[in-house]
Each structure stands twice: as structure tokens, then as C-alpha cells.
Amino acid sequence: MTTAYASHPLAAGSPPVWASAWDQDAYGPWCSFRLREVTQRLRWIPPGRFLMGSPSRERGRETAEGPQHAVRFTQGFWLFDTPCTQALWQAVMGMNPSHFQGEQHPVEQVSWEECQHFLAAFTQLLPELRLVLPTEAQWEYACRTGTQTPRYEAELDAIAWYAGNSHDTTQAVAQKRPNAWGLYDMLGNVWEWCHDGRRIYTRDGVVDPVGPTAVGTDQALRGGGWDLPAQYVRTANHLRFFPRGRHAALGFRAASAGM
């Protein structure tokens, strides 16, 4: 993996027009927006390269996680530093569909299609920031932060809520240690919807890959959830689910459509 923090929008002294606050810390650049008394921070994910998928000997690996292949991103993007909270969903949508209630808990019981409604409604409220779901490749790149191990940190309890420590419920976001780019709960707590569906991997390198997006395509979910044992809470693990599907372990985090 390579990073290019020198190219991020803050380096030139020009934060995004939508930002209500911004700075840089040990994890890199960040910006936040404020919407109806709710503040959400986003982290800058720089352009770069990484090896996507899992090696054949990774414990718990499924065939569809390979073969590993090189991916290059030509542009950076901003990404929520946590899953979308119930507070933010309610600020945008005026209701809360979640089974496990709590303003700082991740919103769940939301389908991929309902996430699209949220993103469209958000654009009406803050048109300067166009949000999308990250592609599956973007999600894995942001999660790995240069690692090739099953998780970005070996001590699972330190970074994730899963069946072994969740007490059968979601938990408030940002309680565990973040990854090297300052992203919380990338593993565990809730599965996160991605923009695209299953892309068949080959060993060939790809640039800015996007999986199938046709209407009705089963969509990718990443990260594992509070209800699953440790072997499923891995960076390369994934699910495919129909766009109208809902579950108390399905949530999302949003990305910027551009810089």
C-alpha cells in the first residue's frame, strides 16, 4: 500500500466546502459536518495500492475471497469514521428503524435500498457533500490500511464487537481501537452495505474496480457483525444479500463521491 497525504484537500489549505471543522492528527486528515445537532467525522482515504482478498491458507477463508490481486485507486475519498449512527439516520429520515435502540449505536434494520433513500435525502439537506456507499474494493482498502493479516490488529476484542463479547446486541460506535487511518468498527458491530455486488476475482491487477450495479443485484456486505463468531469477523470476509433485505446486524457507513 502507498499513501499520498500530501495530495489531500487540506494540504493546500482548502477544506471541503461542506466541512464544519477539520484538522490533521496521528491518523491523518479529518473533516466533519454538522446536521441538525448531529456531528459526523470523516477520514481522508488517500489514493494508493493494496492486495485485495485473502491468501489461500488464511484460517476461515472462503473460496470467493480469492485469488488475491493488486488494486490501485487513482483518487482519494472521505469516509465516515464510524458506521452511520441512529442519531444521524433520524436527523435525515425523521425515524429510527433499529432493533437495538441507542442514538450512538449504529443504525440497523436498513436495507441497501433504504440506504439509497437516506443518501438521496442527505443530499437535499447538505448538497455540498454528495454521499455514496463505498465500493467493496474501497471498503477493504480502507479497512486493511496496509495489512495483509486476517484483521488490521491481531487482538480481536480490542477492535471489534462480535459474538464473543457483544452480549447479543450492537454497541455504541467508537468504543474500540480504530485502525491506522482512524476508522472505528470496521470489523464487528454491524455488517456494512457496499455500493456494488460480487466482482469475480482474477489474478490480474485492476484500477478503481466496481462490481455489478444492475438493479436487483445482490449487494456486498463487509466487516462481520455482533452476532457472528470470530472466524467471520475478518477483513476479506463478505456476504451477498438482496437489496431489500433487513437484519438487526446490517448497517452502513458512507463515503464522499469526490474530494
**What average pLDDT does range 58-72 have in this prediction?**
94
Q: Which CATH architecture has domain 5-256?
A: Alpha-Beta Complex (3.90)
| CA gap 190, 125 in Å, rounded | 26
**Eight-class DSSP state of 106:** B
| CA gap 236, 51 in Å, rounded | 11
Range in 22-31, 142-151, 176-185, 250-259 with the lowest mean pLDDT: 250-259
CB atoms within 10 A of CB 65: 20
**Eight-class DSSP state of 166:** S
Q: Are strands 69-73 and 48-52 parallel, antiparallel or unpaired?
A: antiparallel
pLDDT confidence tier of residue 10, bands split at 50, 70 and 90: confident
Percentage of the chain modeled with pLDDT above 90: 92
C-alpha cell at 79: 469516509
**What average pLDDT does range 52-77 have in this prediction?**
95
User: What is the model's pTM?
Assistant: 0.95
C-alpha cell at 178: 480504530
Contact 78, 42 (CB under 8 A): yes
Q: Both ends of the chain: CA-CA distance in Å?
A: 20
